[in-house]
Amino acid sequence: MSEVAVSTRIRLARNLKQYPFVSRLSKEDRKKVVEEVREALSHSDIRLNFIDMATLTKVQKLSLAERHIISPEFVEAGEGSALLVSDDNTVAVMLNEEDHIRLQVIKEGLALKEAYETASFLDDVLSEHLELAFTERLGYLTQCPTNLGTAMRASVMLHLPALEESGALNRISTNLSKLGLIMRGLYGEGSKSYGAFAQLSNQVSLGISEQAAIENLDNVTKQLISQEIRARDKILSDIAVEDKISRSLGILKSAYVIDHSEAMRLLSNVRLGAAAKKLSTLSTESIDKLIADVQPASILLKYGEQLSPRERDIKRAELLRERLN
């Protein structure tokens, strides 16, 4: 199933009771929040590295956002904001993003329960050592009222090229809101859906338990995966699709200049081929790794932050040729 579900993410929003929300938080209090949470999480057995956001360049922050370790909004964060992140990047805690604490757990494939377990464990550690803003009536209090309640966003990154090809994806996306779910592009709200990648998340957090929200998302995701697999079976026998997959790989192996959007579109096609075992040498895992590595800031981080957009497109092509040939 990981051929369709790329990754699963649970994000919890928490705030400390004795401090105002981030937008009204003083400089000193921001520091105190960071220190208190850092101290609290040091009691868990998951080792987290501390990164003061003020010490990162814009490109380093953009690269973290591209790899979904921080939110796109957190790229603007500087003094008074921090990131706690595990060595394998599966656990990341943003401090003083929109809320005091935004804790996220990422797992490969569809693994909502596993991700939720880890998140819950860390949430328990937080509760044990900190006084969190919580009321019986509203649940966890958050700066933005839309997150009140469970203050949990569960999401699954899906690769749905066959449903996109058949035109079904738009219809499905529209119907999801009736199920309390929302479909977004690769980089969250308002972002484009590059290369048939889409994020499916729970939208409602008030009046529903975490377990119910996760179960709902899990069920719908499994249905979507089945639909995608059936749609793939249908289109993969078409030589036009085989042609598209093979040409996409041919172009990625031979281009000398390639922009982000084209690379994503072609890698999405190749990922479909890899999932169908049509490209003997390539796995979906290796494609997913490539997708992360060809993102704009990741290229800059690897080859030099001063590159012009054109030079970046040349380096992206170089990277793709090296890795695919």
The answer to whether residue 112 forms part of the interface with a second copy (CB under 8 A) is no
Select the residue interacting with a second copy from 20, 78, 145, 250 (CB under 8 A): 250
Number of chain positions touching a second copy (CB under 8 A)? 16
**What is the contact mask toward a second copy in residues 207 to 246, using x (rule: CB under 8 A)?**
--------------------------------xx-xx--x
Say how far residue 3 (Cα) sits from the centre of its chain: 16
C-alpha to C-alpha distance for 115 and 109, rounded to whole angstroms: 11
The answer to whether residue 253 forms part of the interface with a second copy (CB under 8 A) is yes
The answer to whether residue 249 forms part of the interface with a second copy (CB under 8 A) is yes
Phi, psi of 306 (to 5 degrees): -90, 0
Indicate the pairing of strand 139-140 with strand 91-95.
unpaired
CB of 225 to a second copy, least distance (A): 27
Which one, of 315, 291, 22, lies nearest residue 144 by Cα? 22
The answer to whether residue 278 forms part of the interface with a second copy (CB under 8 A) is no
CB of 263 to a second copy, least distance (A): 13
C-alpha to C-alpha distance for 285 and 100, rounded to whole angstroms: 34
Select the residue interacting with a second copy from 126, 314, 319, 320 (CB under 8 A): 314
Q: Which is nearer to a second copy, 306 or 325 (CB)?
A: 325
Specify the 3-state DSSP secondary structure of 164: helix
CB of 258 to a second copy, least distance (A): 8
CB of 317 to a second copy, least distance (A): 7
Select the residue interacting with a second copy from 257, 259, 302, 303 (CB under 8 A): 257
Specify the 3-state DSSP secondary structure of 224: helix
C-alpha to C-alpha distance for 44 and 228, rounded to whole angstroms: 39
Q: What residue has token string 């060595």?
A: 87
Q: Is 53 exposed, middle or buried (0-12, 13-18, 19+ CB in 10 A)?
A: buried
For a second copy, which stretch binds (CB under 8 A), given 91-99, 148-156, 222-230, 248-256? 248-256
Q: Which two tokens stand for residue 140?
A: 């966890």
Instruction: Return residues touching a second copy (CB under 8 A).
Output: 239-240, 242-243, 246-247, 249-251, 253-257, 314, 317
